[in-house]
Amino acid sequence: MISVGVVEDHPLFRDGLRNLLAAEGMEVVAESLDVSGIDVVVAAAPDVVVIDLALPDGTGLDVVRRLRTELPSSRLLVLTMSADGATASRSLAAGAHGHLVKDADPAEVVAAIRSVAAGSVVVGASVAGRLRGIGDTTAFTPAAEAFPSLTLRERQVLGLVADGWANPRIATELGLSDKTVANYVSSILSALHARDREALAVLVREKVGR
């Protein structure tokens, strides 16, 4: 029987996953709601750990990195709402053995867990086509968890600023005017109490690990 650990903060999803795995002959041996509670999972040393990326006190990527060192024999499957290729790339780069989107068919979820447990690397069908190269350095949007005070648009601008893009290029990329981009940059600087664009780049590197 495959033993499974779950790191997931959403109760209904966690309940559903537990029910499904029990019905399919697998056992959930440990559950954690957040990053700080994963000691329970480490102690249980399950065959597979299913990890959500958006956790209340951090990101699932931190859990992946930690479990890779503390549970080298366990297989890690990221199960998240993010269907973009860049997120999947980062999951795999952090050391996960699989990346699946939560709205995948239940049969696909079960199959993915079995495959990962058997030693395969699995990427969900809905993100496989959008997967970027691992360690891809092209522009990205920092996660909302890292910058909760910024809007999605501001995070898009922040990601491009952190990658060293100039305002006109950002404006072209996002279909905005130069002035609007300048306004976004100044409101980001004020929201993050940053001195200049370099400080923003440093902040993004610190928070997102790029």
Partner 1 sequence: MSAGGRAGSLTGVAWTAVVAVLVSTAAVSTSLLTGTTPPAWVVTVSMLAWLALLAVYPSGALRPRWAAALGIACAAGILLGWPAAFIAGFAALAALQVWRFQSRSSVAERQAIKWLLLGLVPALGLFLGVGAVAALPGGPAWVLHHPVYTVLSVAGMWVVPVAAAVGLALGDRGPVDELVRWVVTAVSTTVLVALAHGIAHAVVPGWSTVVACASVLPASWLAHRMATRMAYSRGPQQPLRALPLLLAGTTGAEEVGPLVARTVRDALASPASLVRVGPHVLGSSGGTDLPLFEVPVLLHRDEVAVLAAAARPGETSLSRRDRDVLAAIAVVAAPALAGARSARAAAEAHHRAETARDRERDRLHADLHDELGPALSGLSLTAAAISSRLASDDTVTAGRLVEELRGGIGHTATRVREIAYDLRPTIVEPARLAPLLRQRLGTEGPPAITLQVEPCDLTLPDAVQPDVVRVVLEAVTNVRRHADALHCTVQVTLDGEEVRVVVDDDGIGPGTTGSGIGLSSIAARTATFHGTSSLLARPGGGSRLTATFTTGTERHS
Residues that bind partner 1 (CB under 8 A): 9-17, 19-20, 22-24, 31, 33-34, 37, 54-56, 81, 102-103, 106-107, 109, 144-145, 148-149, 151-154, 179-180, 183, 187, 190-191
N- to C-terminal Cα separation, the chain: 38
Write b or e for each residue in 9-27: b if 16 or more Cβ atoms lie within 10 A of its Cβ, otherwise e: beeeebeebbebbeeeebe
- What's the min distance (Å) between Cβ of 119 and partner 1? 24
Look-up: residue for tokens 């024999």?
Answer: 73
Contact 50, 4 (CB under 8 A): yes
Measured from the CB of residue 59, what is the shortest distance to partner 1 in angstroms?
11
Query: Which structure tokens are listed for 41?
Result: 């999972």
Helix (H, G, I), strand (E, B) or coil at 30: strand
Could you tell me the two tokens for 73?
Answer: 């024999």
When the beta carbons of 55 and 131 are compared against partner 1, the nearer one is 55
Q: In whole angstroms, how close is the CB of 170 to partner 1 at the nearest point?
A: 15
* Residue 192 beta carbon to partner 1: minimum distance, rounded to whole angstroms: 9
Q: Which is nearer to partner 1, 111 or 136 (CB)?
A: 111
Q: Which is nearer to partner 1, 139 or 146 (CB)?
A: 146
For partner 1, the closer of residues 35 and 92 by Cβ is 35
Place of tokens 């209904």: 12
Shortest distance, CB of residue 30 to partner 1, whole angstroms?
13
Is 3 in contact with 29 (CB distance < 8 Å)? yes
CB-wise, 144 or 166, nearer to partner 1? 144
